[in-house]
């Protein structure tokens, strides 16, 4: 597969070691842009720095990950509003019911983030592990227009509601082996799928990086029974349109 143009729509570049080499490998396999997601104020600052350092290649998304909410006060909202025009999305944000964190706190912060995204017309990049239905109900109830449910592996019934509202899901390297993730991708039209690595998350014990997007592409092409070039073209166009990227 040559001359593919791919976009990694979700990577924690602030956590990646030897970033210059990692980005060089990404370019070598046809990745034309990466969305660097934030998870707290510290990582959001770093994401903005990386977007400046790699202008036109790394694009920042600002977020508050549910895993870190107990370590922060409400300064995150002021920071977000101050810097939101520099971002292409609000993320990573959402709910996670598999962690021992106060659900009321998660629900409150996520609702505020959805309201902010809506008011600034920014797409949401949503973490919804074991909280798929509640995450969707909040996004739907608050009237968010643009969202991607990252690494979706939840019930098909909830997936149908996600798609009916015009939202996206994303494919990760787990598409090679996770039955829940593969089922979701099989039941989602290509025009509603984005590609991502969630770098540097480990898949089967191996740390990932953006160049692993080629693995995601191959897995999705196999699931769909579609030529990889067609999958690359469609998912890249989806990302350009959703995030308003100008390359």
pLDDT in tens, 54-66: 999 999 999 998 8
- Asked whether residue 49 carries a pLDDT value surpassing 90, the answer given is yes
Q: Is residue 33 part of a domain?
A: yes
Per the structure, how many domains does the chain have? 1
Q: Is residue 187 part of a domain?
A: yes
The boundaries of the domain holding residue 218 are: 6-243
pLDDT at 73: 65
Residue 100 φ/ψ region, left for φ over 0, alpha for ψ in the -120 to 50 degree band, beta for the rest: beta
Residue 29 within any structural domain of the chain: yes
- Sheet containing 124-127: which strands, arranged edge to edge? 6-11, 31-37, 58-62, 89-94, 124-127, 147-149, 168-171, 193-195
- Say if CB 214 and CB 169 are below 8 A apart: no
Share of the chain above pLDDT 90, in %: 90
CATH number for the domain harbouring residue 150? 3.20.20.140
Residue 1 banded pLDDT, cuts 50, 70, 90: very low
Residue 1 included in any domain = no
User: 228: buried, middle or exposed (CB in 10 Å: 19+, 13-18, 0-12)?
Assistant: middle
């Amino acid at each position: 597969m040559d001359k593919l143009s791919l976009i990694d729509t979700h990577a924690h570049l602030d956590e990646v070691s030897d970033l210059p080499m990692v980005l060089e490998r990404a370019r070598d396999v046809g990745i034309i842009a990466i969305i660097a997601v934030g998870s707290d104020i510290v990582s959001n600052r770093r994401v903005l720095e990386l977007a400046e350092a790699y202008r036109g290649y790394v694009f920042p998304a600002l977020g508050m990950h549910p895993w870190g909410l107990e370590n922060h006060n409400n300064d995150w909202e002021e920071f977000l509003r101050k810097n939101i025009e520099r971002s292409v999305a609000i993320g990573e944000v959402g709910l996670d019911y598999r962690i021992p964190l106060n659900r009321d706190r998660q629900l409150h912060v996520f609702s505020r983030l959805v309201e902010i995204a809506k008011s600034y017309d920014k797409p949401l990049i949503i973490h919804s592990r074991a909280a798929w239905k509640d995450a969707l109900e909040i996004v739907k109830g608050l009237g968010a227009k643009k969202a991607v449910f990252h690494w979706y592996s939840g019930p098909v019934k909830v997936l149908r509601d996600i798609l009916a509202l015009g939202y996206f899901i994303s494919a990760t390297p787990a598409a090679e082996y996770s039955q829940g993730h593969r089922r979701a991708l099989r039941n989602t039209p290509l025009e509603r799928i984005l590609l991502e690595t969630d770098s540097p998350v480990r898949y089967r014990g191996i740390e990932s990086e953006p160049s692993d997007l080629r693995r995601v592409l191959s897995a999705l092409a196999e699931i769909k029974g579609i030529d990889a070039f067609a999958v690359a073209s469609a998912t890249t166009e989806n990302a350009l349109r959703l995030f308003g990227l100008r390359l």
